[in-house]
């Protein structure tokens, strides 16, 4: 009888421990999937933003031949973003594009003959609108990523993170927050 009680207690403790491990793993997966879902919402806007780049650069390029380097960097960043498949490389590229957009618009404002063109004004308005929408969604994305990154660094979740090779997901920075 004592052996039965002993094995029953061991079984119950084992079941509780196994259930805890499964719940911990499932929570990490839930948080990771939320990060990807939050990024998918931003990805639509980031694609819209990078699609505005060639049009903006084409209009601005006509009046600012000496700003070729900035324009070239923006076009290269756009290409890198569109070719990226991994969320980490998309976030890195988006973090590099955001600070370059503001100077392009500021440079364009130095040229009144360029500003008078309604096309550039409309493009600037669209770029600002998209950036505002990205900023709204960026906060949710970064909050979700922070929860996930924190969860995989606390004990005992850290063990799962190492076992299943869960990696940190980078934050998406705004223009003023950029680390570059």
CA–CA dist 146, 25 (Å, integer): 17
Can you read off the two tokens belonging to residue 118?
């309604």
CA–CA dist 72, 81 (Å, integer): 14
Residue in the structure block whose two tokens are 């650069």: 57
Residue in the structure block whose two tokens are 């980490």: 88
Least confident range from 12-26, 67-81, 157-171: namely: 67-81
CA–CA dist 119, 153 (Å, integer): 49
Find, among 143, 116, 111, the residue nearest to 37 by Cα.
143
What are 88-138's pLDDT values in tens digits? 888 888 887 777 776 666 666 665 555 546 666 777 788 888 888 888 888
């Amino acid at each position: 009888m004592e052996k039965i009680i002993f094995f029953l207690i061991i079984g119950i403790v084992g079941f509780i421990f196994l259930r805890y491990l499964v719940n911990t793993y499932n929570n990490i997966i839930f948080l990771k999937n939320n990060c990807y879902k939050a990024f998918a919402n931003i990805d639509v806007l980031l694609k819209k933003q990078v699609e505005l780049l060639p049009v903006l650069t084409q209009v601005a390029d006509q009046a600012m031949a000496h700003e070729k380097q900035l324009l070239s960097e923006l076009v290269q960043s756009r290409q890198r973003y569109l070719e990226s498949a991994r969320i980490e490389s998309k976030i890195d590229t988006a973090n590099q594009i955001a600070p370059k957009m503001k100077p392009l618009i500021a440079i364009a404002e130095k040229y009144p003959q360029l500003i008078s063109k309604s096309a550039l004004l409309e493009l600037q308005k669209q770029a600002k609108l998209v950036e505002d929408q990205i900023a709204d969604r960026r906060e949710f994305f970064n909050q979700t990523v922070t929860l996930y990154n924190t969860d995989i660094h606390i004990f005992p979740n850290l063990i799962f993170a190492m076992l299943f090779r869960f990696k940190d997901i980078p934050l998406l920075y705004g223009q003023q927050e950029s680390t570059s």
